[in-house]
Structure 1
Amino acid sequence: AWLSMVISYRTNCLASIESPELNAEMTAALRNATELTDNAIAIITAVAELAKQFNLNLNLTAAASALTGRRLLSYPDWISAADRKLLAAGGDNRTLPPPNAVVAKDGSGQFKTINDALNAMPETYRGRYVIYVKAGVYNEKVTVAKNKPNLLIYGDGPRKT
Structure 2
Amino acid sequence: MSLQRLDLSQLALKESPTKNKHDIQTWLSAALTFQQTCKDSVETTLGLDHKISQKMDYLSQLVSNPLAIVNRITGTADSSRNSTAGAFPNWIYSRHRKLLQANTIKANVIVVKDGTGNYKTVSEAIKAASGNRFVIYVKAGVFKEKIHTNKDGITLIKH
TM (normalized to structure 1)?
0.50
Residue 93 of structure 2 corresponds to 84
CA distance in 2: counterparts of 1:91 and 1:8, whole angstroms: 23
Q: Secondary structure at the match of 2:125?
A: helix
2:136 counterpart of 1:131: yes
Q: Which runs of 5+ in 2 are unaligned?
A: 1-21
Aligned with 1:10 (options 28, 32, 35): 32
Is the 2:133–2:154 contact (alpha carbons within 8 Å) kept by the matching residues of 1? yes
Residue 32 of structure 1 corresponds to 62
TM (normalized to structure 2)?
0.50
Q: Offset of 1:127 from its aligned partner? A: 4.0
Residue 99 of structure 1 corresponds to 107
CA RMSD for the aligned pairs? 4.5
**Aligned residue pair count:** 126
Q: Which amino acid aligns with 2:33?
A: T
Is the 1:102–1:133 contact (alpha carbons within 8 Å) kept by the matching residues of 2? yes
Q: Once the two structures are aligned, what percentage of the paired residues are identical?
A: 19
Residue 76 of structure 2 corresponds to 44
More helix by share: 2
Q: Secondary structure at the match of 2:110?
A: strand
Q: Offset of 1:105 from its aligned partner? A: 3.9
Deviations 1:47-102 (CA, angstroms, capped at 9, x unpaired): 579xxxxxxx512899xxxxxxxxx72x5xxxxxxx71245x29936279632112
CA distance in 2: counterparts of 1:91 and 1:41, whole angstroms: 25
Q: Which runs of 5+ in 1 are unaligned?
A: 50-56, 63-71, 76-82
CA distance in 1: counterparts of 2:101 and 2:31, whole angstroms: 20
